[in-house]
Structure 1
Amino acid sequence: MKDVKNSTGALADALSKLATRPPGLGNRGLSGINGAFTGYLGYGFNQLPWLLGALGSTNTLTEAASEVDDSGMELALLRMSGPRLQAAMSGAQLLAVWVDFLDLSDVVLRQCPAYSVEKLMVDMHRVQGMVEPSMEALASADPERVEAAAIALPELMGQLTREFQSIREGARVAMERAGQAMAVAQLVEMLTMVSAMKLTLPRLPPAAPAMLGVGLVVNSNGVMMGSQLVVSAEWVEMMRRLVQAGVLSVSAVSAAVRIHAGVMMAQANGDLPKGVREALGNGPEVRGMHETGRAGAGMSEPPQHHVLPREFREWFEKRGFTGDMDIDQFCVRMERASHEAIHGGGDWKLGRTWPGEWNRMIMEALQDAESKAGRMLTRNEILKNVAKRMRDYQIPMKFIPWRGT
């Protein structure tokens, strides 16, 4: 979280510098050209609120997890933070690439008058069209859309790498054709120096499929190396533990490692690269993970169950269940028969008269606990009480946000 927050702050600074940099000769630059490129700057700025919001949500949930006095509920809250952290990690990476393209455009506008402004606008419009769907999916906070966008990110990064190289090469060729041979070398050097693309994006993928297991090794000082410097062994261990705990998905971590390692080729049949499986421990919890659709093998969506009853929303809000801890965040998927069973066999009116019906039971338990305490229960006390009842009823402690179905 700290790393992503620092990266986001650096990107905000970079955007501000580009926006406030005075135009060059001929009113050329991102801040010039009669505002033709300000929309692209604005698109970058527009990503900052949701990125910071995702980090804030992650922080809220991890703090709540550290405070709750129940190990099962603690892990459940950490799992709730996973999609938000995943979205922030992938979103910051994608925004860094967008800033690279803005940097590139600014240099081309200032230093390469032979490259058509209209063509550059078309280039940036095309690149934004490539970035936008993934960015929208990540910003949605929908766990399944976030997961799909994170898994697809390596392929997108490969496409963006080619776009970046194409614009840079186009600028060089335009300068040569304009007879400005002496300025070409200086332009190429500037395009390389001002862009962080060499850090945020790997080199172009090889023509032949590459397996991560071939190019990913741990050297003597414990740093993992691929076609470029990748990540530390400590980072891999952290990812392994988060995957095994169910906080992050192995598919998304696999995609992140492939991006860092410069391996952009899609793996056959959705299988994980051998090197990633080994780095993550290659245990049954890793081998058993694979990409699936929301409905599984053609089956209908299981019903959602509000663990904290919706008809008592106001009661829970008074005790701290708002925002990222709203009761709509505490839903679980259950088989239809199980869902109907805990609600009195599916008959709503009959269910409320059955002492063991979930909503009636949980509210009586919480209200009794408040009477004994002589005060309002804290949010953590409520979660601990709910966790015990969930174990009693064999309800899986894996929360998902309410979808309204």
Structure 2
Amino acid sequence: MRQATLDAMDEVKRSLDGIEAARARLASRPSSLGGRGLDGVFTRYLDHGSKQLTWLRGTLGSATALAGVASEVGDSGMELGILQMTGPRLQAAMFGTLLLATWVDFLQLADALLRDCPTCGSEKLFADLHRVQSRMTPTLADLASGDSERIEAAATAMPVLMGELTHEFDTIRREARSAMEVGGKVMVAAQVMELLALISTLNMSLPRPPPAASTTLGMGLVMSSGGVIAGSRLVVSAEWVEMMRRLVQAGVISLPAVSAAVRIHGGQVMMAQANQDLPEGVREALGDSPEVRGMKVTGKAGAGMAEAPRHHVMPKEHREWFERRGFKGDMDIDQFCVRLEQSHHEAIHGGANWKLGRTWPREWNQMIMQLLGKSGRETGRALTRNEILNIVAENMKLYDIPMKFTKGRRR
């Protein structure tokens, strides 16, 4: 499962490298003889892509660092818990990279039209890119937020957004072709449009089905020896499916997010209705287990998480003590919270009688700090971060606290 997490990160890194190279090529190209290219007022759109690269690299670096910490922890349950902490970051990087690749497609389209279509107005292309950027911005902001709930919502809504972007891309292409034909440049138009169809990330869902055909978009996906097939189209490789299966079953990546990714790559851009059952073919491809069958696209309330308290397994009143031992940044103690039922939360802080509160000798906060202090005295030095994690993990098992961490709020 650790390897599946690392493989997923490597895949995103490779995609980012390719996107960065394509954006750099566009930025370094001189203007055409007519003085038209992605410079001047269009530079802001290249800069927009550069800004997205910055946060995507940071998010991926954060996930990689957490995976490295997980590999050094001795307790397998704690290792899994930390690997699960990479999930929101990995999802944000996966879907953010897809959106950035799409944005570079639009930049390549604009660059080609500025150079090869004199009849295509610069003002209109500028407005087109502004409109597309405006469509992407809210989702990119959610993915970059670091908030797991916003990231999940943005990921599961991505098929609809990709459908809108596909429509925008196809509209700009068709309008440009018409302008070229009116200008008598039919051969140039055909060549440019053919090139753009080949280079585009969006070619996986072009041409977009007409509205009357929307009912056919729910066709199931099936497994073949080569991967997942939607109709006659290869969607993703069998290796990708197996990697996602492991991550879903381990709780690193959510099945609704994986389902959204498969829908996008299969061109099923309209399948993201709230609270619907996931497509049968997706469930079968990812393993038709009870966990998968129980997965629905849902919000916080639908998942039963609206009122569940978040328990800091490392007491927040001792934040500075933990910070001196390496719990900073991505390993801040606010990252190590778990959602508990109200009764369970009261029980670990008050024993059988919640009114006892912090006076109960086995109250979690007192107990864990006493154990950590005792272990430090026995070793004759400050405990390392990994030693603390292993002690916390052992006692979480004794108190029946699940090692599925969520980010808490710093007060």
TM-score (norm 2): 0.90
Q: Distance in 2 between matches of 1:202 and 1:398?
A: 40
Equivalent residue number for residue 309 of structure 1: 315
Give the structure 1 partner of residue 326 of structure 2: 320
CA separation in 1, counterparts of 2:189 and 2:217?
A: 37
Match of 1:142 in 2: 147
Where in structure 2 are the equivalents of 1:71-220 lying within 5 Å?
71-198=76-203, 201=205, 203-205=207-209, 207-210=213-216, 214=220, 216-219=221-224
2:216 match: secondary structure: coil
Equivalent residue runs for 1:5-404 within 5 Å: 5-31=13-39, 35-198=40-203, 201=205, 203-205=207-209, 207-210=213-216, 214=220, 216-219=221-224, 221-226=225-230, 227-266=232-271, 269-296=275-302, 300-344=306-350, 351-404=357-410
Of residues 334-343 and 159-168 in structure 1, the stretch that sits farther from structure 2 once superposed is 334-343
SS of residue in 2 equivalent to 1:29: coil
1:297 and 1:14, CA in 2 relative to 1: closer, same or farther beyond 3 A? closer
1:63-109 superposed Cα distances (whole Å, 9 cap, x missing partner): 22222111211111111111111111111111000000000001111
Q: What is the root-mean-square deviation in Å for CA atoms of aligned residues?
A: 2.1
- Structure 2's unaligned 5+ residue stretches are 1-8
Per the TM alignment, residue 217 of structure 1 is displaced from its structure 2 partner at its CA by 3.3
Aligned-pair distance for 1:234?
2.2
CA distance in 1, matches of 2:187, 2:139: 40
Percent of paired sites with the same residue: 59
Aligned AA (2:404)? K
- The runs of 5 or more residues in structure 1 that have no matched partner are none
C-alpha distance in 2 between matches for 1:298 and 1:383? 28
The answer (yes or no) to whether the contact 2:222–2:284 under 8 Å persists in 1 is: no
- Counterpart of 1:74, as a letter, is E
| 8 Å CA contact retained: 2:156, 2:272 | no
For 1:230 and 1:202, the matched residues in 2 are separated by 14
| CA-CA distance at 1:2 after TM superposition | 0.7
- The letter for the 2-side match of 1:56 is G
Pair 99,294 (structure 1): closer, same or farther in 2 beyond 3 Å: same
Q: Which amino acid aligns with 1:223?
A: G
Q: Deviations over 1:299-319 (max 9, x none)?
A: 852222111111211211222
Deviations along 1:312-348, one digit per CA (max 9) or x if unpaired, are: 112112222111111110011223333233233666x
- Taking the aligned partners of 1:379 and 1:297, their CA distance within structure 2 comes to 32
8 Å Cα contact 1:12-1:48 kept in structure 2: yes
- Tell me if structure 2 keeps the 8 A contact 1:228–1:260: no
Change (3 A) 1:337 1:194: closer
Alpha-carbon deviations, 1:260-289, whole Å to 9, x = none? 122222266521111001111111111112
Instruction: Please say if residues 351 and 357 of structure 1, whose CA atoms lie closer than 8 Å, have aligned partners that are also in contact.
Output: yes
Whichever residue aligns with residue 335 of structure 2, its letter is: Q
Compute the displacement of 1:139 (Å): 0.7
1:194–1:391: structure 2 CA closer, same or farther, 3 Å change rule? Answer: closer
* Counterpart-to-counterpart distance in 2, 1:299 and 1:244: 20
- Distance in 1 (CA, whole Å) between partners of 2:289 and 2:198 is 43
Q: Distance in 1 between matches of 2:380 and 2:346?
A: 34
Equivalenced residues, count = 397
Quick one: distance in 2 between partners of 1:193 and 1:202? 11
